[in-house]
Structure 1
Amino acid sequence: MIRISSQQVFSSGINRLQELNSNLNNTQEQISTGKKVNRPSDDPVAAARILKLDQEVKRIETYQRNADLASNRLQQEEGALSSAVDIIQRVRELTVQAGNGSLSANDRQSISSELKERLGQLANVANTRDASGEYIFSGFQGSQPAFVKQPDGSWQYNGDEGQRKLEIDDGVTVAISDHGKGIFAAVPAAITAVPNAANSGGSYVSGLELTNAQALKDAFAPRVPDDLTVSVGLGGQISVTSPDGTDLTPTPAPSVGDEFEVAGVKMTVNDAQDGDEFSIAINKKQSVFGTIENLIAGLDSMEKSSGMGRAQYDAFISESLANLDNAQESILLKQTELGGRMNAVESTQGFLDDSALYSKDIRSKLEDVDYAEAVSNLSFQSFVLQAAQQSFAQVSQLSLFDRL
């Protein structure tokens, strides 16, 4: 026989009411928060998985911000380089015009004036700043302008050779900057001939051209020297030597006025006398700013009595065009490299977006409440609670003493 006291009846009823009320409150909380797991005790296994998914989503969102920053920086750099190419192309067009022998002094002065404007524009492009105010072509010295105008009017590189990188996914790092020295300053220069200060007046080298780059590399492996020495001897015979004294003179030896080629470099020595020497720069670097500055100086010198002769001027224009072509090629190569980086960032962004969507979808299934089901449960639980309350109210009025 089981004995039931009045106290047990009351306790059992109250506990049941509390349980039903707790379930009702949980369902109401789920509807108000939109989440079916509001605390670990609601579903310990699901809560642990949700916590890991939250961490994964935050990790992905951090990388997404990095990828967006990388994309913006690379797009800004690509835009700046495109502007630089346009400016250099215009400078090249002006240089071609300047080579026209029928130009008047005023025409050359007009070209010189526009070149000065274009030089300033190019400096502004090279000193482009990002949204945070840092100079994008200064390497790690982002607070310093990449190029600074010197007292003599020349533009000099002012940054370092650092390259900033950013992690856009686990183990995936992309360079988001390029220093201006490699793009604008260290540009392969055209092969030039520098006469010895003691040379006879009017001697010059024309037709300088690199006809075979591989032959030049093969002749001086493993490293191409900075220059060659071309000397004029008795009877106008020409000899060529390398910095270490190696004789590179072609056979038969050329004379003044003859076109000849040595180590893939073609040239002609003109109006030279015994003892004249030229230093042929074959491995030099020159800033694109220096190229334009020299071009301006050359145009201005034509208006002076001490200006270059026509043949020297033509060689000077040809050299300037070659240097401008090299500058354009340097920038175009960097644009190609940038395109590869931008494609990598775009691909990573797509992967991150897919990963974020997948993680959020799983989290939603574990965490988000089904409103239709929750509202139905709420209605049912309310009904059950009301029925339990009514039943308890009736039972609570009974007493075992009424049966005695």
Structure 2
Amino acid sequence: MRRISSQMNNNNTQNNLRIQERRLNKINNQIGSQQKIQSLRDDPVAAGHLVKYQSYLNRVNNFEKNGQILSDQFVYREGYMQNSLDIMQRVRELAVTGANGIYSQDDLRNMAVEVDELLQELVQNANATGPDGNSIFAGTNTNAPAFEVDLGHVDGAVQPLISSVRYNGTIDKNKVEVDENKYVTVDNIGSKTFWAEPQRLFSGRDLSSWQAKESGVINVDGQKIQMESGDTVYSLVAKINSSGAAVKAAVDPVTNGLNLTTTDSHQLWLEDVSGTVLNDLGIIKDSSQKPPYNMADNVRVSGGSLFDSVILLRNSLLKGDGDTIGTRVLASIDSGINNLTTRVAKSGSEYERLQNDIVRNSATALNVTSQISREGDLDITQAITDQKMLEYTQQATLSNAGKMYSSSLLNYMK
């Protein structure tokens, strides 16, 4: 039973007006933001889905951006590698020409001049920087030139020429995420790209009775290997061969020394991370010397870079040494060309993979955006219809309220 009083109509009208205003305000906010969820309690399930979709969309957009940035870097890198390959093909032509024995000493010197210019161009490519100013072939040491050049006197030349080229970068690799827990390894190591031959290390020291004095960690081509106190050289060989490094270790059957050979064309990288195992073996100098130019003086190392091959060709042309050109030089150049061709092919494959990743991430982003729209976007047509209906209802309520305010208790008495 409800009590009838003069304030009943007013209270009911005011209450209904507040309800209508709240509904109208909500739909106005939805239209303004074009989002149907203004607070979590509007639709808790849809709000939960929306948060997950938006988070995933941000990650997918980052994956796509990473792929695009890497693709641009690979385009620049492959361009310099392809140009270097063209240079090496021309160097090989000159080597074949200089080795046939029909040219005079003056002709060979003229060839040496061109070879030296090609060498300078090759060094320029190796020290190339990208649009961001970072060295392309320096590994992770991107703020410095990848290679350092030494000038010196060369027999037969009237001015100082390039006598050696040393790698100044690192062998560290970056991993860039291009999908959920899927990474592309960025291998910008110049001592791999511009290397000509597998490198071999021969230790002349008898290690048959050697044992590790203490535990330590050694770094072989970027692979950390744990050594324990009491390990022998045979234990070391087994650990290196099972480490995953592109290096094959063996004990020399004659000298009982440690021999290391890279399984592809790259520069050997050795260091003591902790302890002094490699230093005790007589393989490297003390820890004050940094790799890769820290080999001990009594260690013999063979296998050089593309620069070493071109320098040897130039010097042999200046000397008129056709025998060296036709044997050692040509073999080294051919090996370097094969390695550089492999690197170019690998770079092209990585670029194609990134293009596929970009296309897939773009399609995924579109699908996720559609899901976000389904869960969170407002149906504008329906919202405007509801808004007009609420406005009409509110106007009708206000009109009726104006008529009812003139009523009193006497209107209910008969």
Assess same fold via TM > 0.5: yes
Match of 1:290 among 258, 283, 308: 308
Q: Post-superposition shift, 1:244? A: 4.9
Alpha-carbon spacing, 1:300–1:102, altered in 2? closer, same or farther (3 Å): same
Q: Post-superposition shift, 1:142? A: 1.7
1:12-71 CA deviation, whole Å, 9 max, x = no partner? 111211222222222222222222223324333322221121111112222222222332
Q: Quote the residue 1:176 is aligned against.
A: 186
Match of 1:397 among 406, 410, 413: 406
Q: Post-superposition shift, 1:358? A: 1.8
Unaligned residue ranges in structure 2 (runs of 5+)? 153-161, 201-247, 257-300
Kindly provide the amino acid, as one letter, of the partner of residue 405 in structure 2: S
Q: Post-superposition shift, 1:365? A: 0.9
Indicate the larger mover: 72-81 or 285-294: 72-81
Q: Quote the residue 2:195 is aligned against.
A: 185
- Structure 2 matches for 1:302-313, cutoff 5 A? 302=320, 308=321, 313=322
Q: Post-superposition shift, 1:377? A: 1.8
Q: Post-superposition shift, 1:360? A: 1.1
Q: Post-superposition shift, 1:379? A: 1.9
- Structure 2 matches for 1:362-401, cutoff 5 A? 362-401=371-410
Q: Post-superposition shift, 1:116? A: 1.3
2:119 paired with 1:119? yes
Q: Post-superposition shift, 1:105? A: 4.1
- Structure 2 matches for 1:247-396, cutoff 5 A? 284-302=302-320, 308=321, 313-396=322-405
Find the aligned partners of 1:288 and 1:364 in 2 and give their Cα distance. Answer: 56
Q: Quote the residue 1:166 is aligned against.
A: 176
Q: Quote the residue 1:198 is aligned against.
A: none
Q: Post-superposition shift, 1:11? A: 1.6
1:289-336 CA deviation, whole Å, 9 max, x = no partner? 01111111111123xxxxx4xxxx144234322211111111111223
Q: Post-superposition shift, 1:224? A: 8.3
Find the aligned partners of 2:383 and 2:91 in 1 and give their Cα distance. Answer: 72
- Structure 2 matches for 1:14-53, cutoff 5 A? 14-53=14-53
Find the aligned partners of 1:105 and 1:7 in 2 and give their Cα distance. Answer: 121
SS in 2 for 1:175: strand
Kindly provide the amino acid, as one letter, of the partner of residue 297 in structure 1: N
Q: Quote the residue 1:57 is aligned against.
A: 57
SS in 2 for 1:333: helix
Q: Post-superposition shift, 1:181? A: 1.0
Find the aligned partners of 1:173 and 1:224 in 2 and give their Cα distance. Answer: 34
Kindly provide the amino acid, as one letter, of the partner of residue 3 in structure 1: R
Aligned alpha-carbon RMSD (Å): 2.7
Q: Post-superposition shift, 1:171? A: 2.1
How many residues get paired? 313
Find the aligned partners of 2:82 and 2:5 in 1 and give their Cα distance. Answer: 92
Indicate the larger mover: 161-170 or 86-95: 161-170
Moved over 6 A (4+): 222-226
Q: Quote the residue 1:216 is aligned against.
A: none
Kindly provide the amino acid, as one letter, of the partner of residue 302 in structure 2: K
Kindly provide the amino acid, as one letter, of the partner of residue 379 in structure 2: D
Q: Quote the residue 1:9 is aligned against.
A: 9
Q: Quote the residue 1:94 is aligned against.
A: 94
**% identity of equivalent residues:** 27
TM-score for the superposition, normalised by structure 1: 0.70
Q: Quote the residue 2:264 is aligned against.
A: none
TM-score for the superposition, normalised by structure 2: 0.69
Q: Quote the residue 2:132 is aligned against.
A: 132
Find the aligned partners of 1:151 and 1:286 in 2 and give their Cα distance. Answer: 18
SS in 1 for 2:194: helix
Find the aligned partners of 1:338 and 1:40 in 2 and give their Cα distance. Answer: 48
CA contact 1:6–1:399 (8 Å) conserved in 2: yes
Kindly provide the amino acid, as one letter, of the partner of residue 167 in structure 2: Y
CA contact 1:67–1:168 (8 Å) conserved in 2: yes
Alpha-carbon spacing, 1:76–1:224, altered in 2? closer, same or farther (3 Å): farther
Find the aligned partners of 1:62 and 1:146 in 2 and give their Cα distance. Answer: 29
Kindly provide the amino acid, as one letter, of the partner of residue 161 in structure 1: I
SS in 2 for 1:136: coil
Q: Which has the larger radius of gyration?
A: 1
CA contact 2:196–2:337 (8 Å) conserved in 1: no
Alpha-carbon spacing, 1:9–1:147, altered in 2? closer, same or farther (3 Å): same
Q: Quote the residue 2:67 is aligned against.
A: 67
